[in-house]
A = this chain, B = another copy of it.
Amino acid sequence: MNTATSTRDLAHPTRDEIRLEGVLHALSDPMRLLIVREMAVAETELACSYFTLPVTKSTTTHHFRVLRESGVIRQAYRGTAKLNGLRREDLDALFPGLIERVLEAAALEADRLGTDG
Which residues of A are at the interface with B, using a C-beta cutoff of 8 A? 19-22, 24-25, 27-30, 33, 94-98, 101-102, 104-106, 108-109, 112
Q: Which of chain B's residues have a CB closer than 8 A to the CB of A95?
A: 101, 104-105, 108-109
* Residue contact B28 to A24, C-beta cutoff 8 Å: yes
* Residue contact A102 to B24, C-beta cutoff 8 Å: yes
In the bound complex, how far is the Cα of B108 from the Cα of A98, in angstroms? 12
Cβ distance A98 to chain B, nearest Cβ, rounded Å: 5
In the bound complex, how far is the Cα of B50 from the Cα of A40, in angstroms? 41
* Beta-carbon nearest neighbor of A95 in chain B: B105
Cβ distance A24 to chain B, nearest Cβ, rounded Å: 4
* Residue contact B28 to A109, C-beta cutoff 8 Å: no
* Beta-carbon nearest neighbor of A105 in chain B: B95
Supply 13 further A-B pairs (C-beta < 8 A) apart from A20-B105, A24-B25, A24-B102: A20-B106, A21-B28, A21-B29, A22-B28, A24-B27, A94-B105, A94-B109, A95-B105, A95-B108, A96-B101, A96-B108, A97-B101, A98-B104
In the bound complex, how far is the Cα of B92 from the Cα of A2, in angstroms? 52
